[in-house]
Amino acid sequence: MLSTAFRGSLVSCAAPNARSFVGKNIQNPNQRMVVKVSSPVDASAASAVESEGVPPAVLDGTDAGFVERFGEDTLIARAEEVFATMTGVKDDSVLAEDFRFEFPVVSLDKEAYLKAVRGFSLDQAIPDMNSNAYHFRVDPYEANRVWFTIRNSGTHTGDLKFAGKTYKGTGKVIQGAPECCSYTFNSELKVTSFTGGYVMDRRVGNTGGMGALFGILHAIGAPVPRPGSLMWNILSLVNKIRVGIAAIFAKFTPAPAEKSA
């Protein structure tokens, strides 16, 4: 279940006055853009909420001082830059070595992620694909994370290859539900994790309440497991077991010896 935020035709240009799109109708629905809608991260407000009860959970290694060091505008601009590389597909130098691709069913390391996404045929299958990315914002609790929203749209006119099968062009229109995505950064402003595929309102669009590639497959009439179904749960369990085994091996695998000069 891979995101379409990595594909070439989804490379979006940040509108010079992106805030002007807020609350207005977009006249050209085919225009590719990244709309930045953000408000200053209020650390004091977040602290006040925490002081009233149990603090919210955050990822291990979250750096509370990230925004103070880099600034919110810098982090959002960096997220837009990463998005413009198809999330590392065109330029994997934006990805950290410990990068993780974390979606509802699929969890991949950097090598497996790049191999998977570079093997897709979405450019040929849906040449007018647009992610319609907008609302880039910094998380007030995880200061090194930038969230954004996408609404995939396009027309299936070419061959779509997935899991050893080829789905011929159907001419069907794809209108995805809004999906929440995020990038988490390290101190070098490289992406340590990319999350997505999480549908925010399953009533929207024609992707059957699913996000990312599963949603696209549903829209073109391809068979896919539905969230909550037996097959969906089996795939989720298999992925968790695979990730767990990989973590165990990584823990006990000695680091390669340094080469002598």
More confident residue, 233 or 24: 233
Helices (H), the chain: 43-51, 66-70, 72-84, 110-117, 122-125, 212-219, 230-252
pLDDT in tens, 145-169: 999 999 999 999 999 887 778 889 9
**pLDDT score for 161:** 81
Query: Coil, strand, or helix at residue 173?
Result: strand
Sign for the CA dihedral angle at 69, 17, 139, 93 comes to: negative
pLDDT in tens, 48-68: 555 579 999 999 888 889 999
Mean pLDDT score of the chain, rounded to an integer? 77
Pick from 40-44, 75-79, 115-119 the range whose average pLDDT is largest: 75-79
206 pLDDT higher than 70:
yes
125 pLDDT higher than 80:
yes
